[in-house]
A and B are shown apart, each in its own frame.
Chain A
Amino acid sequence: MDAALRLGAADEAIAVLRETTPFGDASEALLARIAGIARRARYAAGARIYSADDAADDIFVVLSGRAEHVFKPEVGAREALRRVTRGGVFGWAGLLLGQTQRLATVTAIEPTEVLRIDTEALVGLLESEPLEGGHVMERFASMIQREFTLPALLAQVRRLSGPLTEEMSSLSLTLYRLSLWLRSPRPYLMLVGFALFLGFWYLAVEVWKLPRFREMPGLTNVVREWLSPSPTYGLSLYIAEYYQHIAMSVWRVAQGFFLATALGVPVGLLLGWSRSFKEYVFPVFETLRPIPILAWVPLAIVMFIATESAVVYLAFLASFFATALNTMLGVESIDESYVRAANCLGADRWQVFRHVIIPGALPFIFTGLQISIGVSWFSLVAAEMVSGQYGLGYVIWTSYVMVRYPTIVIGMVTLGIVGYVTSALVRIAGDYLMEWRVRELALAER
């Protein structure tokens, strides 16, 4: 007996849809719409719900009871027999590419109540929800492969044809991921973590006054100082000098980093690509690389007349080795088959370099760049501490020397934030250039 859904029953429908794999994390709005097009149906124990090769019109969601789902043998599922109970979804053959007929025979073992959702209507609905729609389809695909053990070739769901879903822009993907994240327990655990850390700092220094912690600048002192329009020790968010120091450090790192990238990437590419170049250059490279960057400080001061260039040189050096090395490893790790395929297809040496080597090495190069910017900051801070005149490292050191302890922490925190932001910028640039990899990794995560 089919019956249209009444208003109160809609809640029950939404509740069971929440328990399913494909619709499990969809929004309330979408679930309500799906409930709106669903119809209920009841089957007695032993009744045949449908047979293989019937027309695949409705998708079924089990509300109560139990049914037996048996694939026909040609389908090649690893486990042909599956029992579905509440929250189980079957009858999705119509969602697969090139499928219009049922792949299985389903029989009710106990009295069973289901929701029937017309396949085409569902697809239309999902197409009108560009972000969520694609996500739901992907979850169908993964359910079909994992829970129903259908081989990958068959388990390919149709691609929704809405204009936005064809190429989900990175921005909308990010926004969607953000909304998913907010609904998970993660942000709250994070708050717990920070609360523990900051709480301990506060208590240890200012309340319990633990032995070694007594001398340390306390959390409230630091925060008050940082946010004060007229800070006791001279630096806060309101003071222009604060931003001058930040700008100085960032400017130095930027110079070092970009120089290192401009020099390091080509050198790394050559090291990976040309064996004779590597044989000539790599020994010298590997001899100089282990020398810690800071061991260069005195020599840099001697070599460079201006302290400024010496500091930039140190930031550059650290970056350079990391970038060149990672680029070289990137080139070397490219699967030989790609180069061979390109050769077969008639590409000459330069074309192979441009179309295979460089894009192939790009993921490694960007990992290297992220490492290199971190290393660059590391060296810069040390260099500034030793011989700088502006900059965050200088701030930290002089604050210590002049017994301005809260400012030390301000400097450290600022360094952390700025360092993180620059590193994230590099990563975003990488994601932008390598959309193919972002998608590949996203699919793998499901």
Chain B
Amino acid sequence: MKKMLSNPALWRGVVSIAVFLVLWEIGARSKQWMAPEFFAPFKEFLGAMGFKKDYLPWIGAVPAPSAVLDSWTAVFVDASYWQSWYMSFFRVMSGFIAAMLIGIPFGLSLAMSRVAHGIGFPVFEVLRPIPPLAWVPASIIFWPTQETAIAFITFLGAFYTIVINVLGGARSIDVRYFQAARSMGSSRWDIFRRVILPGTLPSIVVGSAVGMGITWEVVVAAEMISGGGSQIGGTRGGGLGFFIWLSYVGGSYEQIVVGMISIGIAGFVSSELLRWGGRYATPWLKAR
């Protein structure tokens, strides 16, 4: 602990975040301190540049950290806020796990068979540039409930990343591992289980971290666009994306920022969980 406290890097980080918050606070409050006539020429200048005249561009419109903090303490005790957390987390995890359950075998089969690769990969590559969100309308039409529609989009988001990473991982397995296994008399299934699977695991773990980020993006977007499952529990618990959208529509800008920061934290937590799981699954990497 003492070592951590005496680490200059840590203090610098703290300083910079503090500076950031201070600047934010000042900028947000520019509405107040720019009020007197003293600032009139500056305001004209802003107007001429195409910005709103009453406060500093961009920052001025954003609620101050202090206001955000107030709003957060208020929301902290509201059950629907935590239900939003739960809903979003649930969607992210289920979409992600589905993507792994389907994506990893798919990727591995492409990696193992040249014929499968020749047939499947081009179609995959052609579909990949289509952003998952572009699938939202198609998904809503196709799937029976809104929940499954959102789940599908979430699945798509992570699926592409996972498959790409599995392919990359399989390709980079040193050919000597195969040779060693074969010379020790392994069957094809054995080689799959003991060489290919563990060999691609590190890439899968790395890919999952990126895929997790994408999954969050997709979930939030899907929640905002499709109304966040407003059929479920009315206006409550539509997920964090919906929470943000509601706050916007309801005019509570402070709550928007609360929602944003919450999602950031949620994303970070899920990535850490994943990294921890990855370390558990690939203990040999640590020794490097």
The interface of chain A, by Cβ under 8 A from chain B, is 185-186, 188-190, 192-194, 196-197, 212-213, 215-216, 276, 279-284, 287-288, 290-299, 301-305, 374, 377-378, 381-382, 385-386, 392-393, 396-397, 399-400, 405, 408-409, 411-413, 415-417, 419-420, 423
Contacts and interface: CB of A to CB of B under 8 A. Distances in A.
Interface stretch (B117-125, B177-185, B274-282): B117-125
Nearest to B160: A374
Interface in B135-158: 135-138, 140-144
Contacts of A405: 141
Interface residues of B, number: 66
Given A287-B17, A381-B134, A420-B129, A292 B217 contact: yes
A215 B140 CA distance: 11
A374 B267 CA distance: 20
Nearest to B214: A378
Contacts of B267: 290-292
Nearest to A421: B129
B133 A409 contact: no
A292 B9 contact: no
B97 interface: no
B61 interface: yes
Nearest to B137: A400
A117 to B, nearest CB: 33
A294 B217 contact: yes
B105 interface: no
A415 B135 CA distance: 11
A45 B57 CA distance: 93
A192 B119 contact: yes
Interface string B260-288: 11011101100100000000000000000
Nearest to B215: A292
Contacts of B16: 279-281, 283-284
Contacts of A192: 118-119
A60 B51 CA distance: 80
Given A212-B142, A212-B143, A411-B134, A292 B120 contact: no
Given A295-B263, A386-B224, A409-B138, A282 B13 contact: yes
Contact of B253 (A194, A302, A413): A302
Contacts of A294: 217, 220-221, 224, 241
Given A292-B220, A298-B247, A382-B221, 19 more contacts: A279-B16, A283-B14, A283-B17, A293-B217, A295-B220, A295-B241, A296-B260, A298-B248, A302-B253, A303-B62, A374-B129, A378-B133, A378-B217, A385-B133, A386-B225, A392-B134, A400-B137, A415-B134, A419-B130
22 contacts: A189-B115, A194-B126, A196-B119, A216-B141, A280-B15, A282-B13, A283-B13, A284-B20, A287-B264, A290-B271, A291-B267, A292-B217, A292-B221, A292-B263, A297-B224, A298-B244, A305-B52, A378-B133, A382-B221, A385-B225, A400-B141, A416-B127
Interface centre among A291, A297, A305, A381, by most chain B C-beta atoms within 10 angstroms, is A291
B12 A299 contact: no
A292 B216 contact: yes
A411 B136 CA distance: 12
Given A193-B123, A298-B247, A215 B260 contact: no
Contacts of A378: 131-133, 217
A393 B137 CA distance: 11
Contact of B131 (A188, A382, A409): A382
Contacts of B38: none
A299 B263 contact: no
A293 to B, nearest CB: 6
Give the top 8 A-B pairs by smallest Cβ distance, nearest first.
A189-B118, A400-B137, A419-B129, A298-B248, A283-B13, A193-B119, A279-B12, A416-B130
Contacts of B12: 276, 279-280
B256 interface: yes
A126 B62 CA distance: 70
A305 B50 CA distance: 9
A396 B132 CA distance: 12
Interface centre among A282, A292, A392, A397, by most chain B C-beta atoms within 10 angstroms, is A292
B134 A193 contact: no
Contacts of B130: 412-413, 415-416, 419
Contacts of B9: 279
B257 interface: yes
B234 interface: no
B129 A304 contact: no
Contacts of B143: 212
B135 A412 contact: yes
A381 B131 contact: yes
Contacts of B132: 378
A290 B264 contact: yes
B245 interface: yes
Nearest to B140: A400
B213 interface: yes
Contacts of A283: 13-14, 16-17
Contacts of B135: 412
Contacts of B240: 295
B189 interface: no
Contacts of B8: 279
B50 A377 contact: no
Given A295-B263, A299-B260, A303-B58, A190 B122 contact: yes
B259 interface: yes
Nearest to A397: B137
B52 to A, nearest CB: 6
A414 to B, nearest CB: 9
Interface string B233-251: 0000000110011011000
Contacts of A194: 122-123, 126
Interface centre among A185, A189, A420, by most chain B C-beta atoms within 10 angstroms, is A189
Contacts of A382: 131, 133, 221, 225
Contact of A408 (B118, B138, B241): B138
Contacts of A396: 134, 136-137
Given A194-B123, A280-B12, A284-B17, A295 B259 contact: yes
B60 to A, nearest CB: 9
Contacts of A186: 118
